[in-house]
Chains A and B, each alone.
Chain A
Amino acid sequence: MTRWCIFLVMVLAGLTVASLALGDVALSWRDLWKTLIGAQDADPQNAMILYDLRLPRVLLAVLVGAALAVAGTITLAIMRNPLAEPGVLGINSGAAAAVMAVIVLLQDPPMLLLPAAGFLGAAAMAAAVYLLSWRGGTSSLRIILIGIGLGSLASAATTFLSAFGEIGDVQRAMIWLAGSVYDADLVKVRFLLAWLIVPLALAWMATRELDLIRFGDETAKSFGQPVDRVRGFMIVLCTLISGAAVAAAGLIGFVGLVAPHVAGRLVGPAHARILPVAALCGAILVVAADLVGRLIIAPIQLPAGIVTGLIGAPFFASLLWKRHHARG
């Protein structure tokens, strides 16, 4: 566990430094160092590139990746289904429908409205899924089914808007939905960090509950766990965490699904171990995706959400298969 953590932190640090140094204007190691320690003879243009553009972007990628991975881990545990990711709760489809509606239906919506709409859409869907599946208690299957039903309604709305909306608007909405950390600034980073810190800490404190609920409702109950209350609480956490990530960066797919699986393969089933490792994996995935997306066909930038699908998916899959087969 410690070994893996150290390894992953080193990978993340390496990627972060690379993200700070590489780009349209490549900074040398010395320039990078000078600017970071604020040396007297540092080039002010480098400081601008570093502090206004690259640092916020990399920090946002770290936060979003970690948040998506943690939310994915929670969903996986409470749903007990290997396909479960925060999207099962309707978070993605809700955010997509809300953002598509704002972009297509409003004339020139202010940029600040998009994250708010994304978060509200996600939260409203998650609340609706949970409330509709409540009938003197919940069950994982009922939440999954209700999530499918409500999710398909929201997707139908999105599809309708994208089929008949003005084509330029639709394309703008698609770019937002593809998921990227383009327009990061330090205000956004600080806001996201402040927002995430409490839910992430709560999730970290609740790892034992996650271990229990994963065994199944009956087993967890026999250990004295108030299953419904824990599940509701976890869904609230999950919505706060991944809703904020989606609001900040759009729909970066695959991270929430795969990071927990990889972490489970690396360090075993205990959530006290999975949670930090998954967060690191998620952060690495998004930072790497953003870096690759910036460089691969520069000066055109590919959104990070697309790169996670193109490169992250095959890479993590090969990792999963190797571990799987190594153990027989």
Chain B
Amino acid sequence: MAKFIPAFFVLSLFALRSSLFVAPVLAQAEINSPNYIIQMPNLNSGAGLPTSSNYKVSSTIGQNAAGLFSSAGFRVKSGFQYIYSIIPFSFTVSSTSINFGHLVALTPSTATNTLTVSSGGAGGYQVKASENNPLKIGSTGTTIADTSCDSTCSETTAGVWTSSSRYGFGFNMSGDDIPADFTNSTYYRQFADRASAESPQVVMSSIYVGTNRQSTVTYKVNISGVQQSGIYNNIITYTAIPSY
């Protein structure tokens, strides 16, 4: 009997591990139609069509229906009419801390991270980016200005930035669903600077359903020989929102 104890132990561990992955069931007053979830107050789905003094209820639940239930002064639909299940919208930012290391004058420093989006409906999504302020020494307020590239670029339009005698901070994008002005790896933009009341700018967008749409952000810093020494930081905010 003792010989079988390890096997029993392993089997029970396996059963326990498997049970931990069962998705929890959320309690809600809702029914699932083939099209989307309809949330209703006090519904007994076998009780026929309820009515109220405010609304006449017309509820059809079927393959092609846009059926709604209204009672108690409201009706709610969650999800998208043409998608059979509620698909979560997801967003991932890898390597949230982008370290530039020790900055050397006239020697650009680069680092990357990736943005990944999965959008199951609504005709797509968008991701916008902005910075709280230019790279800055917190204690003194000294900044590394946003780049103007080799000749010109802004938070809305990328420009070529290859010269090591052009200073500043900017970013390039490559991969899925990126703006068309990032023609190749030499094109950079400034981040929209919220401290200067600049509006966040779109860095990824699509009008289609997509899974694991991924782009790579390349950050670049280049300083002059007279840049004040210190620790420069800022925060880049990425906001991912599905289409409506």
Q: Do A and B bind each other?
A: no
B: residues with CB less than 8 A from A are none
